Structure formats: C-alpha cells, structure tokens
Amino acid sequence: MIDTRQKPQDARGRLLLLRRIVQHVFLAIFLVLFIKTDYSGSDRLDAAVNILFRLDPFLAAAVVLGVKTFVALVLPSLVVILLTLVLGRVFCGWFCPMGTLLDLSQKLLPARDKKNRTYFPGLPLFLLVFALVAATCGFAVAGYLDPFSILVRGLAQALYPMLNSVTVGFFTFTYQQLPDFVNAFTEPVYGVLQDFVLPSGQKFFQLASFSLFMLLGVLLLEAVQRRFFCRNLCPLGAMLGLVGRKGMFAGHGGNEDCGACRVCSKNCRMGAIDEDRKIDMASCTFCSECVAKCPRQIISFGFSLAGGNELSQGSGVSLSRRKFVAAGLAGFLLPTVKGVEVLAKNPDPLLIRPPGALAESDFLRRCVRCAECIQVCLGNALQPALFQAGLDGMFSPMLVARTGYCEFNCTLCGQVCPTGAIRQLTMPEKHLLKIGHAWFDKDICLPFAKGISCMVCEEHCPTPDKAIRFKDVTIQRDNGQSITIRQPYVVDELCIGCGICEAKCPLPGRSAIYVTNAGEHRHPEKSLTTYAGYN
Amino acid sequence: MDRRQFVKDVLLWTAGVGLGVPCWKIAPVRAAPFPPLLGVVKGKDYRLLVEKAVTLVGGMAAFVKTGDTVVIKPNIGWDRSPEQAANTHPVVVRALAELALDAGAARVQVFDHTCNEKRRCYTNSGIIDELKKIGDPRIRWEHIDERKFVPVDIDRGKSLKRWEIYKDALAADCYINVPVAKHHGLSRLSLGLKNSMGVIGGNRGRLHHNLGQELADLATVVQPRLTLIDATRILLRNGPQGGRLDDVQVLDTVIASADPVAADAYGTTLFGMQPREIASTVAAYEMGLGEMDIDRMEIKTVQVG
C-alpha cells in the first residue's frame, strides 16, 4: 500500500533505499556470474559471465588503442558510455560491484578523515592518460588498475579458493572428528555449499597473496576516506567523469540560502561538493545521500539540457596541462624499457600461453588481466604471471603444468576471454593446437635413470595417436642381469604441450617430463628442429 | 553451551580418535570358490547381456542381500565418450545398478577416482545420464570425497604395504567391479585388477613402478564380490584412454565372475593374449587370489538376442 501523503523526507529516503537495493542486486548478480564462470556439464559456456569486462569502456579503449583495430567483443562498453552521457557517473554509484563492496567496507571501516577533501584529485585522470598512451605504445597496464580486474583477480586467485580451503577444512574436521548426530546436520550443509557456492575443487595460485593484498588494499583504503579508490585512483571512474560531466541528468547544488550548512559536502562520499556547495558532475555518482540529508531540501537532481553546475576549479576530474603532458610522456617513455629487458632478447621458455592465445605482442595488448580464464580453467593449469612476460605481463595467464594441465576437450578459456586475447576454438582445432612441447629429463626419469618402469606420462597422454610412446630397451643391471624396460619418448608432430604428463609425473618434486613453449603454434619461428636424426 | 564446555565436549568426542590416524583393518581374503564360475554372454542388447551374465553366476541375490549397501565401481577415468571404449559402457552400469536395486539394495553408490577432470569424465562417459534415467533415490553417483580416504595396512602385500583407500569401497556390503576391457601401455591390458586403482588415493602413479605385483597386493584388500568385465567394445591400442574409433573393436560381450583373477584371465583371451602375459593376473594367482588357468574354470557361454 502506498501512502500518498508521505513527507518529502520519506521520498528522498526511498531514493537512498532504492540505490542500495540496486547496488546489492547488481553485486549479487556479479557474484553469481563469478561462481558460474565454471564448467557446467556442457562444452559451451553462457556468454554472460565475462560481460562485466566487455562493458568496461576503460578496458575497451585500452584494447582498441593497443591493437589499433576494431574489436567487436568490447562493443557492449558503448552501453556504459551512452548511459554515462545521459546520466553521468550513475554506473559508479549504482552498479559498479567494486563501488558497492567499498560502500559495504565503509560500514566496517568508517573513514577517519572528516575534512573530506580528495587527496589526489588529479591522479585518476593521470592514470587514465598514462594507461591509454602506454596501451597505444604497446604497453598494456590498464588491467593493473581497472577496478573489475582487481576485484575478479582478488576473488579468483585468492578469496574464492580461500573460502573453499577453509570450508573444506571445517567440514573435514566435523566429518572425521565429530559424532554422527553432528554430521547429520553438518553434511547436508556441506552438500548445499558444494552444489551452489564452492568451486568443484581446491585451486592453488602463484600470486595468491599479491592478488589478495591488492584487493584488500583497495577495500582497506576506505578507512582513510570514503570511496578512496574511486576518488583517488580509479581510471575507469575518471573516464566516466570525462564522458558524463555534461550529462543531461545533473545535480543542483546549494545556494545562498544554505548559510553555514555543509551537511552535503561533509557527507559526499565522492568529495564532489565543494565549500560553495557546487556539485562537480565529473565526480558525482548520484548516490543521493546529499539529497536525502539536505536539511532544507535545497539539493536536488533533475534533467536539464544545460548540464549541471559549472566545474569547480581544482576539484573533480581535471588535470593541469603540465600533468597531462607528464602522464602522456610517462605512458610514451615507459614502454621503451621493455626493449632493454632481458626478456626482449631471451624470452622465457616456460611462458606457455593458453590454447588459442594470439601471438605474444597482440596477446598482451588485448589481455586485460581479468582472471576469467584463470577462474574457468578446469585443471588449475592457468596461473597469473609475475615477471615471466615482462613488466607489462603481470597477471597475464600462463600454464604451469606441474600444478595443473590443460584438459584435452576443454575450450572454456577462449570462451570467457572478454577481448579475444584468447581465441574461441572449435574442438577439432583445440585437439591439434600446439601450445608447447614436452621434454624428458632423463637424469631423473625412472626408466632412464634407475631402470624402474613407470609410463604414467604415456598413460595420460591425451592425443588419440599417442605423443608419448615407448621403446623396449634392454639394460644391464649391476649384477649383470639383463632386463627389458619400456623407455618413453615424445613424438614432436603429435605433442600439443597440454602438460598432463608433467602434472601427473609421479616423481616427488620436479617432474621428469616438463613442458616449454617450444614449437607453440602462435610463433612459427619457434617450430621444432626436425631433420632425419634418429627417426 | 559455553566455549569451555564445547572444548571439553570436543575432546571427549574425539578421545582416541583425534590422537592417531585411524587405520583400517581388512578381513582376510575370502577363499575363492573352486572351480571358478564364469558367465560369458554375447549379444546386442547390453542390458540383457548383464542380466544374463549375472544370472549365470548365481543371480544378483547371491551377491546382494536386502538392505545392503552396494558399491558399483565402473571405469569413469577419462573424458571420453562411450563409443571410444575408455570407460565402462553406461548401459552396463545402469543394468547392474537396477539388478542391485531389484535384489533389495538399500543404497547403490557409483563412483570412480578419475584421471581427467572429474565432472567432465562423469558427464561425457554417459554414465550419469543413464543412471538418472532410473530415477531412484537409492542410487547415488558421487565424486570422490578426499575426506574418505583411509590408510589401510596391506598385511599380505609383497610390494605395497600400506595405501590410502576409499572408505566407501571398503565398507560396502557388496562391492561390484565393472571394468572396461582395454589396452594399457604398461600393464598391456587394463581389466578388473587395474580398475581397482580407481578407489585409491595418494600418488597413484607410484604403483606403476611395480604395477603387476602392486595391483595383486591391492586385490588382497579391495575385494569385489562380483567382477563384471565390460567387453561390449574393447580398446585395442592407445589405451587406456584411446580417443580413436579405429582402435575400438565391438565384441558385444560381458564376462561375470566372483573370481576377480579368473575374470581378468578370461578377459585377456579376448585380445588374443594369454593370461600369463598379464603381470597382475600372474601375481594375483600366485598369491592365491583366484584362478588364471582357463582350463580349470567352469565357463558358461551364452548368446542372447
């Protein structure tokens, strides 16, 4: 039942409530999509799971500037641009899952700063200019700074596996140590969690702690200032501010009637309201708190073709010409360091990219470090790189076969990649695509080194025509006795570098068979040397 | 309940349990009936094949009593489709599950410790879809739960002395082993004894270093009451996971026996090989776990359909 005689205060309170509901609904959708970024019993995945990254105009711009071609996959980002053109930064205040998490963190960690002046108002724009210029010069660091990338990386590479580890640990304790009447209650709970919340198995990540600290850092900065990340760092927010500051939907700030009242500017989480109670529409995210709290109901929002207030000097999204040039120069000059890193001369042979990854330079320019491929990878094979791909390759996916291998019949990473850095493969393509090559370490491989039979690698080799085969070799034991043993070898033309051999090698510690990126499909110059030789 | 009380209670509950790792003791091996009885059935209707084969070795009632917990252990090791012959045929698994239910089983569990990603194996083997068709809540297919591996002393083991084995496989009233008959690079063939590797945990590849003997050792503690070898189609080369239909031969055959060694021995002959060529068969025979001499078996061969 709607009470039509509500006081205006209630109506404004309802706007706040509506915004909170929208925020939490979108956060919930995001989390559900995150959990759904997984094998679901079908070789095809719903396209929606990577949609957040395809909506992101900052990443879209970085990718398009990087590869200098039209990238159809990032077209949905135009929706956010259009939304922002009309409504300003409503995305930041109402829809961004990172923003919602920050607002929730604020409840736990109230900001100590009461002056509410943005610490580094120019920094987001500086980072935006820097990242886009750098991207244009082939140095893709947009993904380091993007809020969604930071968020999904922190979830995929740390929090989600941590949740699983803790939960499994708890229910292992209850299962193994507590009596049946307790388990009658706990086991069904565990079952529900497994079915709907937890990942299908425990994953392990290099950079888990780093990914966690990055996300936690962003969340903890709330204790310094409300929406610290959005105001002082977020390049996506800066971009939306640039696009949306002349939006048709705008705030009308205070006026002379306000007197000494500063309720709005003190409460503004974005620091968008200055001492004169002018609202900077490049910063305002329409959270509506000022409208709800304005004691005299002076502040309001509405449509107007004239746009909002004039930009207040020195606040919000603006950058002096000098800083602008500095950002551009930094973005232009930093990439040159790539050319003198040792990796430029001597690339890391252990940098194995997912199947369908574009040639390295194109791959890095497209990869937005969103961790979607890493999250979806069935075998826990994909890991975020640290410096294996250079300074601008951090968090890009690489296969670390000792931890996990690439499933022969799986093409999910190419399906979730939001930018096409990893191509979508058909199953027949995938089966033949060489991402690396397996090599035996005969000094430790048992049939060679110790005369002990093994062949676990051959058993697991997935190519229908086995890429690992064996020769029956007669060897002489120390006591003079001759025995025949099967010794494995790799068939160059058949090995696709999936790494299951390395993952399953039963030796403790180092595997006796390991994969490098030798012969990978995307770099013809790396094709394996094949002459008659022993064959 | 306050915290102090809770801690006290936990200590009480876990007294003796929390102190040491529990180790399962397995009852001595049952004497295999002699001469071993084999049911070998050929035909196109795989469901009928299973029914008939089980009937030939005494009927399901001889293995499953009312109220029993039954474990059916197919090979679901690989992310392969049924016609690729890397996993047990889904219709064979379903038929056995239905026979067990008809015999009064209180619960029928189906699982395997897969080599490829577990969900892909379960799905693409076709076994889950087939079991769902039964629509009986007493049937449970579940993924391996790491918490259920218990260390087991293998007292009679010559090479394998102690290993982690899946509790449900050991605790079942009736454990039915349903391997698919296929080629294997190291052991030459993968049959019933090799299929038992699907109920063990740990670093399974380690068993390969002395595979024949270690499989026989494992057979002293993982003791199926019934072995049914699925040879409806067999994988001749590039086992144990295959992937090429050229390597598959359709035989439309199943073999049932209470004697795991005899079942394997007979299964070997389907590949044109002799039982003595399979190290695990020989090792198990020498340990008295069953018969490997084809001439000393009572083999009932039936063609159906």
Average pLDDT for A311-320: 55
Provide the angle, in degrees to the nearest 10, between the axes of the packed helices A147-154 and A235-244: 150
The interface predicted TM-score (ipTM) is 0.91
Residues of chain B contacting A, Cβ within 8 Å:
10, 13-14, 17-18, 79, 115-120, 123-124, 143, 146-147, 184-186, 203-206, 208-211, 238, 240-244, 247
Q: What residues in A contact B186, CB-CB < 8 Å?
A: 453-455, 458-459, 486
Average pLDDT for A301-307: 66
Question: What was the pLDDT predicted at A315?
Answer: 47
Which residues, including other chains, have CB under 8 Å from residue A252's CB and lie 6 or more apart? A279, A299, A300, A301, A302, A308, A309
Q: Read off the amino acid at residue B210.
A: N
Concatenated DSSP letters of A421-457: SB----HHHHHH----EEEE-TTT-HHHHT-----HH
Which residues, including other chains, have CB under 8 Å from residue B58's CB and lie 6 or more apart? B37, B258
Q: Report yes or no on B28 lying in a domain.
A: no
Query: In this structure, are residues B170 and B150 in contact, taking their beta carbons and an 8 Å threshold?
Result: yes
Distance, in Å, from the CA atom of B143 to the CA atom of A200, rounded to the nearest integer, reads 10
Question: What was the pLDDT predicted at A115?
Answer: 78
Q: For chain A, which domains are there?
A: 252-316 (3.30.70.20), 346-526 (no CATH)
β-sheet bridge partners, residue A120: none
Binary contact (A466, B238; C-beta < 8 A):
yes
β-strands B37-42, B298-303: how paired?
parallel
Compute the residue count for chain B: 305
Task: At A384, list the tokens.
Answer: 């975020």
Q: Report yes or no on B10 lying in a domain.
A: no
Q: Report yes or no on B5 lying in a domain.
A: no
pLDDT of A510 higher than 90: yes
Gyration radius of chain B over CA positions: 19
Share of chain A above pLDDT 70, in %: 94
E strand residue ranges, A477-534: 482-490, 513-516
Binary contact (A177, B247; C-beta < 8 A):
no
Q: How far is B109 from chain A (nearest CA, A)?
A: 16
Instruction: List A residues 385-414 in contact with B (Cβ-Cβ < 8 A).
Output: 407-410
Going by pLDDT thresholds of 50, 70 and 90, the confidence category of residue A396 is: very high
Cα A301 off chain centre by:
35
Q: How far is B262 from chain A (nearest CA, A)?
A: 25
Q: How far is B157 from chain A (nearest CA, A)?
A: 19
Closest partner residue to A459 (CB to CB) among B17, B186, B244 is: B186
CATH number for B221? 3.40.50.11440
Question: What was the pLDDT predicted at B3?
Answer: 65
How many domains is chain B partitioned into structurally?
A: 1
Query: In this structure, are residues A284 and A89 in contact, taking their beta carbons and an 8 Å threshold?
Result: yes
Question: What was the pLDDT predicted at A527?
Answer: 83
Share of chain A above pLDDT 90, in %: 74
* Most A CBs within 10 Å, among B116, B121, B236, to test the A interface: B116
Q: How far is A397 from chain B (nearest CA, A)?
A: 20
Q: How far is B296 from chain A (nearest CA, A)?
A: 31
A193-207, A236-250, B25-39, range with greatest mean pLDDT:
A193-207
Whole-number average pLDDT of chain A: 91
Question: What was the pLDDT predicted at B7?
Answer: 62
Greatest Cα pair distance in chain B: 70
Q: Report yes or no on B85 lying in a domain.
A: yes
Q: Report yes or no on B14 lying in a domain.
A: no
Q: Of the ranges A106-120, A157-171, A375-389, B264-278, which one carries the lowest mean pLDDT score?
A: A106-120
Average pLDDT for A282-297: 90
Task: At A56, list the tokens.
Answer: 């992101």
Closest partner residue to B79 (CB to CB) among A172, A176, A409 is: A409
Query: In this structure, are residues A171 and A198 in contact, taking their beta carbons and an 8 Å threshold?
Result: no
Question: What was the pLDDT predicted at A276?
Answer: 85
Going by pLDDT thresholds of 50, 70 and 90, the confidence category of residue A524 is: confident
Q: What residues in A contact B15, CB-CB < 8 Å?
A: none
Which residues, including other chains, have CB under 8 Å from residue B22's CB and lie 6 or more apart? B150, B151
Contact status of A466 with chain B (Cβ, < 8 Å): yes
Which residues, including other chains, have CB under 8 Å from residue B94's CB and lie 6 or more apart? B47, B127, B130, B131, B133, B134
Q: What residues in A contact B18, CB-CB < 8 Å?
A: 177
Q: Report yes or no on B7 lying in a domain.
A: no
Q: What residues in B contact A171, CB-CB < 8 Å?
A: 147
Going by pLDDT thresholds of 50, 70 and 90, the confidence category of residue A8 is: low
A409, closest residue in chain B (CA to CA): B79
Tell the burial category of A181 from Cβ atoms under 10 Å away from its Cβ (0-12, 13-18, 19+).
exposed
Distance, in Å, from the CA atom of B133 to the CA atom of A230, rounded to the nearest integer, reads 53
Binary contact (A378, B17; C-beta < 8 A):
no
Binary contact (B13, A172; C-beta < 8 A):
no
> Residue by residue, what is the 3-state secondary structure of A100-164?
HHHHHHHHHCCCCCCCCCCCCCCHHHHHHHHHHHHHHCCCCCHHHHCHHHHHHHHHHHHHHHHHH
pLDDT of A138 higher than 60: yes
Q: Read off the amino acid at residue B78.
A: W
Task: At A20, list the tokens.
Answer: 């909170």
A431, closest residue in chain B (CA to CA): B243
Question: What was the pLDDT predicted at B2?
Answer: 67
Contact status of A278 with chain B (Cβ, < 8 Å): no
Q: Read off the amino acid at residue A341.
A: E
Closest partner residue to B238 (CB to CB) among A41, A446, A465 is: A465
Binary contact (A378, B120; C-beta < 8 A):
yes
Binary contact (B185, A506; C-beta < 8 A):
no
List C-alpha distances in Å: A117 to A231, A263, A276, A504: 10, 14, 13, 56
Which stretches of chain B score pLDDT less than 70? 1-4, 6-33
Q: Report yes or no on B13 lying in a domain.
A: no
Distance, in Å, from the CA atom of A243 to the CA atom of A282, rounded to the nearest integer, reads 8
B202, closest residue in chain A (CA to CA): A506
Read off the DSSP letter of residue A357. Answer: B
Query: In this structure, are residues A408 and A467 in contact, taking their beta carbons and an 8 Å threshold?
Result: no
Q: What residues in B contact A466, CB-CB < 8 Å?
A: 185, 238
Closest partner residue to B123 (CB to CB) among A41, A458, A505 is: A41
Q: Of the ranges A202-211, A226-235, A338-347, B120-129, which one carries the lowest mean pLDDT score?
A: A338-347
Q: How far is B202 from chain A (nearest CA, A)?
A: 10
Question: What was the pLDDT predicted at B237?
Answer: 94
Q: What is the pLDDT of residues B230-253, one digit of tens each?
A: 999 999 999 899 999 999 999 999
Going by pLDDT thresholds of 50, 70 and 90, the confidence category of residue A478 is: confident
A180, closest residue in chain B (CA to CA): B13
Closest partner residue to A407 (CB to CB) among B18, B79, B242 is: B79
Binary contact (A454, B208; C-beta < 8 A):
yes
Binary contact (B120, A470; C-beta < 8 A):
no
Concatenated DSSP letters of chain B: --HHHHHHHHHHHHTTTSSS---B--PPPPPPPSSPEEEEEE-S-HHHHHHHHHHHTT-GGGT--TT-EEEEEE---SS--GGGTSS--HHHHHHHHHHHHHTT-SEEEE----SS-HHHHHHHTSHHHHHHHH--TTEEE----GGGEEEEE-TT-SS--EEEEEHHHHH-SEEEEEPEEEEETTTEEE-HHHHGGGGB-S-GGGGGGGHHHHHHHHHTTS--SEEEEEEEEEE-SSTTT---GGGEEEEEEEEEES-HHHHHHHHHHTTT--GGG-HHHHHHHHTTSS---GGGSEEEEEE--
Which residues, including other chains, have CB under 8 Å from residue A376's CB and lie 6 or more apart? A37, A38, A39, A45, A49, A412, A413, A415, A416
pLDDT of A311 higher than 50: no
Q: What is the pLDDT of residues A408-460, one digit of tens each?
A: 999 999 999 999 999 999 999 999 999 999 999 999 999 999 999 999 999 99
Question: What was the pLDDT predicted at A46?
Answer: 74
Closest partner residue to A41 (CB to CB) among B115, B119, B147 is: B119
Distance, in Å, from the CA atom of A277 to the CA atom of A256, rounded to the nearest integer, reads 10
Going by pLDDT thresholds of 50, 70 and 90, the confidence category of residue A111 is: confident
Query: In this structure, are residues A396 and A52 in contact, taking their beta carbons and an 8 Å threshold?
Result: no
Q: Report yes or no on B70 lying in a domain.
A: yes
Interchain CB contacts (distance < 8 Å): A and B: 91
Domain of residue B101, residue span: 34-303
β-strands B107-110, B226-235: how paired?
unpaired
